[in-house]
Amino acid sequence: MALGNRGLFFTITAILLAGFAIITLMAVQKQDTNGHAVQTRILTLDHFLSDTKKDFDRALNIGSFRTILGLEDYMIEKGVFLDDIDGAFSAALMNATYNGESLGVVENATLTSWRNRVEAQAASIGLTLDIELESITLSHISPWELEVTADAHLTLSDTSGLASFEDDHTGSTIVSIIGFEDPVYLLNSYGRVTNVINQTPYENFIAGNSTANLLDHISHGFYLAHNDSPSFLMRLQGILNASPYGIESLVNQTKLAEQDVPTKTKTAVDYLYFSNMSTSDTAVPDTPSWFLLDSEHVDVYD
């Protein structure tokens, strides 16, 4: 009996030890599984945050382009220049409105609509995303390019409380002004004549005694970068002062006359032509009789 009891004891002990080993192994496996789950979720949050910042820059580019289009449409419809380009741009990019009126072309491309879409996408995969959109800046970096920047504070967390991230991001994008309409033409011709901004292909306007390049430059309404002229952003506000990012074209009076827009006997340099500034002008041989240049621009155009 004693031997039998000892055998039974060892058997029970072995069973208990085996059971303990199984429970310990299960606990370790569960711990490993939970640790892997946490690590995976952290990577998900990190990737989502990184993708959100990249998408913010894309949204900023699309929204900025449409905002300029929308503001130009508003100017044409109302026949007015913008009072404050910075305020107008920020309001339109955020909410597709200016002076309380909706800008249709900007709808669904605003930063507000982008934020709502991304926050909803985060919620669909069990994440909580909060985006605070802050300051927006608009400036020239060259006569032909604008830079738009916008600050955002992002807070991203897992709804189960596993992990969370916070980050400040400054989105940035470059917008070319090539292809936009020049508001100086539109608002000084009762909306009848437009001139699309395209950079001139010419460096020399007079080749030998030929004015062919100059005449083609005038005919196509090409623009030349010149620091005595207003920049594109200044043109949106009707400001015709000099800028280091200035651009200018030469007014084709034939196009004005075809649309019954009264013409002037004045230099063809656009910002001077459409202003009240007095100029000392001279005729240019082998060009139309109406084509004049002021003394400051004779050398510019050879």
pLDDT at residue 115 in the model: 93
Quick one: tokens of 119? Answer: 């926050």
Q: For residue 49, what pLDDT band results from cuts at 50, 70 and 90?
A: confident
Answer positive or negative: Cα dihedral of 237, 241, 243, 245: positive
Other Cβ atoms less than 10 A from the Cβ of 17: the count is 10
Q: For residue 166, what pLDDT band results from cuts at 50, 70 and 90?
A: confident
pLDDT at residue 302 in the model: 78
Give the chain's mean pLDDT. 85
| Residue 174 neighbours by CB under 8 Å, 6+ apart | 61, 141, 145, 146, 147, 148
Token pair 């005595």 is at which residue? 228
- CA-CA distance, 139 to 122, in Å (whole number)? 32
* Share in percent of the chain as helix, strand, coil (round to 5): 45, 20, 35
Q: Measured between alpha carbons, how far is residue 80 from residues 66, 75, 77, 177 in Å?
A: 19, 5, 8, 20
pLDDT at residue 29 in the model: 40
Size of the chain in residues: 302
Q: Report whether pLDDT(26) > 80.
A: no
- CA-CA distance, 102 to 105, in Å (whole number)? 9
pLDDT at residue 142 in the model: 97
Q: Report whether pLDDT(187) > 90.
A: yes
CB 267 within 8 A of CB 283: no
Average pLDDT over residues 214-241: 96
Instruction: Output phi, psi for 57, to 5 deg.
Output: -65, -40
pLDDT at residue 40 in the model: 67
Question: Measured in whole angstroms, how far is the alpha carbon of residue 152 from the centre of its chain?
Answer: 15
